[in-house]
Structure 1
């Protein structure tokens, strides 16, 4: 990988004729008052007595082929904000000049600061030759009004321009409060800014192409630095279109599709969606290789538009696959999707996306069957047997590829292909008979409620609604055992409390009454429960010990085989 890493102050970043450009289709300026104030407080702290010598501004990821002109891959919000701070300082100097406060020297200070950190402005045309260019929604306002310090319009601004205007005025106000307006204010402001540009420093990573930029993104993300791979992909795709002299309406239409997708999914979910989409019709690609793979397949204008049309449609399906209440699903499908969501299984998504494209309109019965089978497999493979997910993902991808290519053309063929990730009854029963769930968080509690509800339905045929507060999970051997449970050693108690065989369903009031009481006292409560799986406990077990837990869980495992089966 060809990249360079340095530490640079703000002065060094903008010196030696270097220029920076926010790619035309990168996201708009979005910092607000909270971020401005955080930065300002950090800056002011630098100038307090015993203040820090410098303030670290984080990573900048830049792309360049000549080390003179740089595209800002990550860091535009910070660089733009600092530019607005400098411009607010220049405006303060102009106000001092207009007030006839040391006008000659303040004019020199203004020009020197502008040339150093903003860029040259032609004195006749007032056209800016800037050190910083913003994106297509922001640059015209920035260059036309902010850089030459023209009077700012109030109407007809897009959201990004409005936010730039607000930021500039906000920094103008705080500088006015800090510096004031007297004969020596210009000198104080120049001293403040001249010191500040040496106190702000960045870690600058410079790469030579989009692929290396993406690899840097992946590395920084692994270390907890939040960067947007979504923005990087957008820049690449839109750069292809803009290079081919596309009409502005085409660019707007393309951007409209992009914004619709991101608006539907959210920027955080877009990269997950993109990988699922790609893997639903191509060989399995790991996240780190996704950008490289897409770039190798998409290099021309027609390919970009085709990809965006496909992404636009698939995004809605992807969102629906993760929403069991989506109106497109029938009752059976909705139930299956609820289970998959509860199990927190995502390896299925590429296969389900391919199945939707192939069967949803033409063969709904097969689609419903595939969804139902996927839920059963997820229960067996992921929830109970806890088998390796990387192998499962590989098999699901192979099935997805088979669906997309036409190799697997029927629901029966797909179910047969999925049998490779379907643990057989013996493996499932063995794993179920020893399974434990630590019900110490809400997600695990919901999962255990679901399992116990399905077991109850299998026994009694009743379908209880467990979403409210009417029913609770009852731990027969309590989570905090009293002396009544001293016949079970503490070591065994720890092993037994969270076993499925030690759990049942109980009415909330009865659950409170049972509390940490002895098994004899609890049995009286259980005998009058609404749940047959609970009423049967005192009927079958005169005492509650390790053997009882083991025996009951083996019974539940036999029931489970009949519930979660193909």
Structure 2
């Protein structure tokens, strides 16, 4: 990002709001949403700076603005904070007006009122002599803010949106707090209220990031998100798409239609998942886009009314498939499809999603199920056991998805052939499995090991087990917390072998707890009576448990795994 398109500085609220600067919440930015919890936190923090032993300032976080002239700014992130501070100012003005109306130093307080209003709420343009507000809210909130809150008159309560009621409630809440603040001590009330405004404006400060266009704003969002600051790239993209319609002079009816459908889509996904869905959707239909380039790519290709609505229709078409992949337990897919999608979720593998979205639109049900199974097998070989490059895998899946989207592939056979590049062959997979270590202290890893052991049990005995069941768990023959010298293992050997797959088997939960860290000879009888063929076999074939027996058993497991997770067409 060029330095000329990006500026960062720390500013107090006074510096932000003064000098003729104005701020506008983009028309389609989300509505005001703060409630008592946020109001109380802000007021408490503010009062903390007013105490003689308190902090001298309160940091309000990042404020992301967009401007081309450094005079008028669009608020990309920070609208809730700016709106609430402006409401605090209005609440103070309301209290000063009461002093004027009751004749309490009326002239002096009227001057204070006028000065504060001009500085922090609005002023007369020196050229046009038209009143210009310092802050303009979005299309759903601005009328209520300008017509009812700013004039400090009667606040009607019927027939308004939820966000407008929140604006009114925020004003009433802060009005009460300011009144209580006045009553807490004696003295010149007008001066104390004016000083409160001075303290608010000088002691609240932001890190202000100013950019010149939507693309630079999006890059800022990515950077801040990488550092743990929660911003909504979803809102930014929404604003851009709606601005495309707004520029075209379309009707309010179409804008409302787009907003309703957009909110329905985001609502079903939950906002934090929307960028992941958008990228999977986009890459299932178009040229590959990295997450870092996604907004730039969309902006370059979606610039007309038709393109905006086409994007929306395409997202709606793919939404159910994406939800079924990410939450298969709640889908209406056939049992096998739900099971395969659930395994991908257990593996935390999402690289196949664009491919599966593309295939779901075109393949017949049997071929789609076959492709789902193939992605499970590849994920087992490539992701869980192997150590392949996720980026390489993602690009391979996308290349196949692109050919499906173009109509080049409509069946499973040629699709599988094109996926050969991310399918580790039998020799490579067997060798990787034979050496695999999976630390089951991590809950995800524990589920993966349970899945592997249950699959081996089914392969050996035909017994179908639910790997998520709590009736059994993973037994570590060499215990995870083995005492020094357990079974003759050195400390180094114990550290190296306790999380090898060859050291793990299945055991009923109660039995597992009972035998704990007992010796192998004491455990062996429990293994024989376990009811699991994989565990009985371990006991029958191993009179003792040594590092060599761990390695030999894992070699046997690797051979079984190569048969279980296999795509005949590619092996």
Classify the TM-score, shorter chain. over 0.9
In structure 2, the residue matched to 1:282 is 286
Task: Find the residue that maps to 1:149 and give its secondary structure.
Answer: coil
Superposed, which structure 2 residues align to 1:172-211 within 5 Å?
172-180=175-183, 184-211=188-215
Equivalent residues of 2:487, 2:545 under 8 A apart: no
1:537 aligns with 2:524: no
1:240 aligns with 2:241: no
In structure 1, the residue matched to 2:92 is 89
> How far apart are 1:326 and its partner, in Å?
4.1
Task: Find the residue that maps to 2:294 and give its secondary structure.
Answer: helix
Task: Find the residue that maps to 1:423 and give its secondary structure.
Answer: coil
1:148 aligns with 2:151: yes
Equivalent residues of 1:455, 1:560 under 8 A apart: yes
In structure 2, the residue matched to 1:295 is 299
> How far apart are 1:294 and its partner, in Å?
0.7
Partners of 2:527 and 2:521 in 1: CA distance: 10
Aligned mate of 1:136, from 131, 135, 139: 139
Structure 2 vs 1, CA of residues 164 and 17 (structure 1 numbering), >3 Å: closer, same or farther? same
Task: Find the residue that maps to 2:488 and give its secondary structure.
Answer: coil
In structure 1, the residue matched to 2:78 is 75
In structure 2, the residue matched to 1:375 is 376
In structure 2, the residue matched to 1:498 is 499
Task: Find the residue that maps to 1:285 and give its secondary structure.
Answer: coil
Partners of 1:206 and 1:511 in 2: CA distance: 60
Superposed, which structure 2 residues align to 1:101-112 within 5 Å?
101-112=104-115
Equivalent residues of 1:264, 1:316 under 8 A apart: no
Partners of 2:476 and 2:311 in 1: CA distance: 53
Aligned mate of 1:254, from 242, 255, 258: 258
Partners of 2:495 and 2:484 in 1: CA distance: 15
List alignment gaps of at least 5 residues for structure 1: none
Partners of 1:154 and 1:95 in 2: CA distance: 22
Task: Find the residue that maps to 2:317 and give its secondary structure.
Answer: helix
In structure 2, the residue matched to 1:410 is 411
1:26 aligns with 2:34: no
Task: Find the residue that maps to 2:369 and give its secondary structure.
Answer: helix
Partners of 2:396 and 2:483 in 1: CA distance: 49
Equivalent residues of 1:101, 1:183 under 8 A apart: no
In structure 1, the residue matched to 2:230 is 226
Superposed, which structure 2 residues align to 1:332-347 within 5 Å?
332-347=336-351
After superposition, give the CA deviation of every residue in 1:266-324 in whole Å (9 maximum; x if it has no partner).
Answer: 11111111111111122221111111111110111111111112122222221122122
Normalised by the size of structure 2, how large is the TM-score? 0.95
After superposition, give the CA deviation of every residue in 1:381-402 in whole Å (9 maximum; x if it has no partner).
Answer: 1001121101000101101101
Q: How many residues align?
A: 559
Equivalent residues of 1:121, 1:148 under 8 A apart: no
Structure 2 vs 1, CA of residues 552 and 205 (structure 1 numbering), >3 Å: closer, same or farther? same
Equivalent residues of 1:23, 1:235 under 8 A apart: yes
After superposition, give the CA deviation of every residue in 1:211-258 in whole Å (9 maximum; x if it has no partner).
Answer: 111111112222222111111111111011112221111110000111
1:510 aligns with 2:526: no
Partners of 2:443 and 2:372 in 1: CA distance: 26
Normalised by the size of structure 1, how large is the TM-score? 0.96
> How far apart are 1:12 and its partner, in Å?
1.1
Task: Find the residue that maps to 1:325 and give its secondary structure.
Answer: helix
In structure 2, the residue matched to 1:446 is 447
In structure 2, the residue matched to 1:120 is 123
Task: Find the residue that maps to 1:394 and give its secondary structure.
Answer: helix
Partners of 1:75 and 1:547 in 2: CA distance: 62
Task: Find the residue that maps to 1:481 and give its secondary structure.
Answer: coil
Partners of 1:466 and 1:400 in 2: CA distance: 31
Structure 2 vs 1, CA of residues 198 and 423 (structure 1 numbering), >3 Å: closer, same or farther? same
Task: Find the residue that maps to 2:473 and give its secondary structure.
Answer: strand
Aligned mate of 1:64, from 64, 67, 70: 67
1:458 aligns with 2:459: yes
Compute the RMSD of aligned alpha carbons: 1.6
In structure 2, the residue matched to 1:433 is 434
Partners of 1:156 and 1:193 in 2: CA distance: 33
> How far apart are 1:456 and its partner, in Å?
0.3
> How far apart are 1:183 and its partner, in Å?
6.8
After superposition, give the CA deviation of every residue in 1:505-535 in whole Å (9 maximum; x if it has no partner).
Answer: 0111211221111111100111111101111
After superposition, give the CA deviation of every residue in 1:138-192 in whole Å (9 maximum; x if it has no partner).
Answer: 1110011001111111111211101111111111111111112977211111012
Aligned mate of 2:315, from 311, 316, 334: 311
Most deviating of 14-23 and 2-11:
2-11
Partners of 2:412 and 2:293 in 1: CA distance: 31
1:475 aligns with 2:476: yes
Partners of 2:214 and 2:523 in 1: CA distance: 65
Most deviating of 527-536 and 92-101:
92-101
Aligned mate of 1:41, from 32, 41, 44: 44
Structure 2 vs 1, CA of residues 326 and 170 (structure 1 numbering), >3 Å: closer, same or farther? same
Partners of 2:422 and 2:543 in 1: CA distance: 40
In structure 2, the residue matched to 1:521 is 522
Partners of 1:260 and 1:559 in 2: CA distance: 47
After superposition, give the CA deviation of every residue in 1:520-562 in whole Å (9 maximum; x if it has no partner).
Answer: 1100111111101111112101110100100111111111111
1:51 aligns with 2:54: yes
Partners of 1:402 and 1:16 in 2: CA distance: 57
After superposition, give the CA deviation of every residue in 1:390-424 in whole Å (9 maximum; x if it has no partner).
Answer: 10001011011010011223211101111211111
In structure 2, the residue matched to 1:162 is 165
In structure 2, the residue matched to 1:547 is 548
Structure 2 vs 1, CA of residues 88 and 121 (structure 1 numbering), >3 Å: closer, same or farther? farther
Most deviating of 35-44 and 498-507:
35-44
In structure 2, the residue matched to 1:217 is 221
Task: Find the residue that maps to 2:543 and give its secondary structure.
Answer: coil
> How far apart are 1:349 and its partner, in Å?
0.6
Partners of 1:395 and 1:87 in 2: CA distance: 58
Task: Find the residue that maps to 2:249 and give its secondary structure.
Answer: coil
